[in-house]
Chain A
Amino acid sequence: MRTARLIALAAASALALAACAPADKEPAASGSPAADGSLDTLTDGVLTIGTSDPGYEPWIVDNDPSTGKGFESAVAYAVAAELGFDADHVTWVPVTFDQIIAPGAKSFDVAINQVSISPERAENLDFSSSYYDTAQAVVTVEGSPVDDASSLADLRDARIGAMVGTTSLAVAQESIDPATDIQVFNDNDQVKQALQSGLVDAIVVDLPTALYITAAELDGGVLVGQLPAGDDPDQLGLVLDKGSALTGPVTDAVDALREDGTLADLEAEWLTDAAGAPVLK
């Protein structure tokens, strides 16, 4: 009978669907931090860290996080060491921001990519405690209409550029509230390119990036100043899968590094001193 065959086919399809559905990995009990597989990492005994490709200075030097050069690369190795993984037991995977926040199985144990901690994001992601508190800063080039701006009001009529999905964009909108819409670009390379082409008059990036590109990358770059942080400062956290068993250990590691002064040392080593970048009012 035809109907019976159809039902059988439907049942078989349902079974096949159920069979191909992956089962969630059971979180293992977190034991003593060590590279002997006691932590529940993707690969036993290896910590997989995700970051963007390309990575930008001063966060990652020469787009190679595995050298330990650059602030985030150095912090990542320090956290790994704190967890009991030596440098040989750390691997890096390139991830986009969308991959970092996607709900499916993650390709990394932790991600470090200047992701700001926010309550909205924390609904879908786990964050470690902050490894760096940053501010946002305005950068322009000589000859731009706002190269002598000294207050937020001077920037109101400027065409502002920022990178999509960043705190820079949100803070720029909030504190400058420019008359024309902020122009939004895919990455900081295009933001810089837009500034150099004259598509925008000024750009907003995080302060370490601003200090770096003004000094090293832009022809005639001018650091106009920092934007006021508002009520809560912009805190960068390591990102973990929601409900990851590693969130606790990673947070403990970051806290320990802050307390013993390692984070401050790494800041001094890799990030330019922010003194000399006045806060705009």
Chain B
Amino acid sequence: MPTTPPDGARPAWVPSERQRDRDAYRRTQTRRSTLVALVSTVVVAGLAVLGLVSSPGWPRVRQSFLDPDVAWASLPKIAEGLWLNVRVMAVCAVLIVVVAMLLALARTLRGPAFFPLRALATGYVDVFRGLPLILVLLLVGFGLPGLRLQGIPTSAVVLGGLALVLTYSAYVAEVFRAGIESVHPSQIASARSLGLTRGQTLRHVVLPQAWRRVVPPLLNDLVALSKDSGLISILGAVDAVRAAQIQTATYANFTPYVVAGVLFVLLTIPLTRFTDALARRSGWLGSQAGLAGAGAMR
């Protein structure tokens, strides 16, 4: 029964008895679901672990893949290698976004005068998206310095980074192009009818909308890049995976690979959460949930 506050203002809203019952019922159902999910997870995990540890090779596998002493001994070297991965990834990511954006813009230019630029950008994307990264790395890494020209870098990290930028900018250019072309033509028509020039339309109307749409696939490419940054190890640089390989060979024990794997996952999870948080703050993520009739998708 709503009570009237002493100052005589309108009574505060209190849910009806039926609403409270409904809420209570929903809470019970939620608790029940959580409990069932918990029990089923424990049972499945327990069965998996049981199956694993009861296999006859388990003691050997545990010794070879999960040796705490080897893990601890190999951790510093692997972490040092991971720091190289992080630096390569950060520098390359910036370069890739710039090059890819230029490529995407070149491909979306209209007008016959721009044909050579369009053709060049298309050819670049076709070639470098088609070439396996490892081939680009080997060709750039061993081929360029082999020319013995002045000014060609001979550092494995620089050459490897160059190969990564060449390959990844081709992928990312296509992501950008898809984003740009997904902006509805009416947006461009409206902007132009408001008197914006082509350049202004691109800068103020098309690119901001395209950018929002390409953030999730860009994050995918960034995570892929973080792992592929290790491929520069074939040119001699010692990254986390290569450091783990060296430790594995030293101990004839695979634990260092597991350590490197855990570190990589620990690296990418915060990356995902960070992007999600960024998107949420900018109002991109979950913005559909506020729409009438959208609701939570189940």
Query: A interface vs B, CB < 8 Å?
Result: 10, 13-14, 17-18, 21-24, 97-98, 101-104, 118, 120-121, 123-125, 159, 161, 164-166, 169-170, 181-186, 190, 193-194, 196-200, 242
Report whether B245 and A164 are in contact in the complex, using a CB–CB cutoff of 8 Å: yes
Of B174-182, B246-254, B268-276, the segment with at least 4 beta carbons within 8 Å of chain A is B246-254
Contact A23 B142 (CB under 8 A): no
Stretch of B110-118, B164-172, B236-244, B278-286 with 4 or more beta carbons under 8 angstroms from chain A: B236-244
Nearest chain B CB to A25's CB is how many angstroms away?
Answer: 10
Q: Does B156 sit within 8 A of A, measured CB to CB?
A: yes
Contact A17 B47, CB 8 Å, known A22-B56, A101-B252:
yes
* Residue B287, interface by CB 8 Å: no
- Asked if B64 and A124 sit within 8 Å, CB to CB, the answer is yes
Tell me which of A124, A161, A165, A166 contacts B236 (CB under 8 A).
A161
Bound-state Cα–Cα, A199 to B234, Å: 12
Bitwise, B81-105 to A at CB < 8 A (1) or not (0) is 0000000000000000000000000
Given that A17-B47, A124-B63 are known contacts, is A185 also in contact with B234, CB under 8 Å in the complex? Answer: yes
Cross-chain contact B236 with A101 (CB below 8 angstroms): no
Q: Give the docked Cα–Cα distance between A17 and B242 (Å).
A: 34
Q: Which of B43, B55, B246 contacts A21 (CB 8 A)?
A: B55
Q: Which residues of A contact B253 (CB under 8 A)?
A: 101, 120, 123-124
Chain B, Cβ-Cβ closest to A182: B238
CB pair A17 B51 closer than 8 Å: yes
Identify which of residues 9-50 in chain B touch chain A, using a CB-to-CB cut-off of 8 Å.
43, 47, 50
B142 engages A197 (CB within 8 Å): yes
Contact check, B64 vs A200: say whether CB atoms are below 8 A apart. no
Residues of B within 8 A of A18 (CB): 51, 54
Q: B245, A165: Cβ atoms under 8 Å?
A: yes
A199 touches B251 (CB 8 A): no
Query: Complex Cα distance A170/B250, Å?
Result: 9
Q: Which 8 A-B pairs have CB atoms at the shortest separation, nearest pair first?
A: A165-B249, A183-B236, A17-B51, A121-B252, A103-B64, A21-B55, A197-B146, A103-B60
Check A198 against B148 for contact (C-beta < 8 Å): yes
Using C-beta atoms within 8 Å of the partner chain, give the interface range for chain B.
35 or more
A125: chain B residues within 8 A (beta carbon): 252
Count contacts between A and B, CB distance < 8 Å. Answer: 117
Q: Is B57 an interface residue (CB 8 A)?
A: yes
The answer to whether B236 and A199 have CB atoms under 8 Å apart is yes
Q: Tell whether A103 pairs with B63 under 8 Å between CB atoms, given A22-B56, A123-B251.
A: yes
A198 touches B146 (CB 8 A): yes
Contacts of B63 in A (CB 8 A): 103, 123-124
Query: Binary interface profile of B, 120-164, with partner A (CB < 8 Å = 1, else 0)?
Result: 000000000000000000000111011010000010100100000
Which residues of B have CB within 8 Å of A169?
Answer: 246
Residue in chain B with minimal CB distance to A104: B57
With a cutoff of 8 Å between Cβ atoms, the chain A residues found around residue B248 in the complex are: 98, 101, 165
Q: Min CB distance, A275 to chain B, in Å?
A: 31
Q: Is B229 an interface residue (CB 8 A)?
A: no
In the complex the two chains form, what is the Cα distance from A165 to B142 in whole Å? Answer: 21
Cβ contact within 8 Å between B145 and A164: no
Would you call the interface of chain B mostly helix, strand, loop, or mixed? helix
Contact A194 B142 (CB under 8 A): yes
Pick 20 A–B contacts, CB within 8 A, sort by A: A14-B50, A14-B51, A17-B50, A21-B51, A22-B55, A97-B249, A101-B249, A101-B254, A124-B252, A125-B252, A159-B154, A165-B245, A165-B249, A183-B236, A184-B236, A184-B242, A190-B142, A197-B145, A198-B154, A199-B235
Tell me the minimal C-beta distance from B239 to chain A in angstroms. Answer: 10
B135 to chain A, nearest CB (A): 14
**Given A21-B56, A23-B56, A199-B141, A194 and B236 contact (CB-CB distance below 8 Å):** yes
With A17-B51, A170-B250, A199-B141 known to touch, is A242 a contact of B60 (CB < 8 Å)? yes
Please, how many angstroms separate the alpha-carbon atoms of A153 and B51 in the complex?
A: 56
> Is B226 an interface position by the 8 A CB rule?
no
13 A-B pairs besides A17-B47, A21-B55, A165-B245 with CB distance below 8 A are A14-B50, A17-B50, A21-B51, A101-B252, A103-B64, A123-B252, A124-B253, A164-B245, A165-B249, A183-B235, A184-B237, A184-B238, A193-B142
The smallest C-beta distance from A187 to any residue of chain B, in angstroms, reads: 10
Cα-based distance from A104 to B65 in the complex (angstroms) = 11
B237 touches A183 (CB 8 A): yes
Cα of A79 to Cα of B242 in the assembled complex, Å: 34
Q: Tell me whether B75 is interfacial, beta carbon within 8 Å.
A: no
For residue A191, which residue of chain B has the nearest CB? B236
Residues of B within 8 A of A124 (CB): 63-64, 251-253
Q: Is the CB of A14 within 8 A of B146?
A: no
Q: Which residue of B lies closest to A164 (CB)?
A: B245
B250 interface neighbour in A10, A165, A242, Cβ under 8 Å: A165
Output the nearest chain A residue to B73 by Cβ-Cβ distance: A120
A199 to B237, CA, bound (A): 11
Is there an interface contact between B236 and A10, defined as CB atoms closer than 8 Å? Answer: no
Q: Is the CB–CB distance between A120 and B146 below 8 Å?
A: no
Is residue B258 within 8 Å, beta carbon to beta carbon, of the partner chain? no
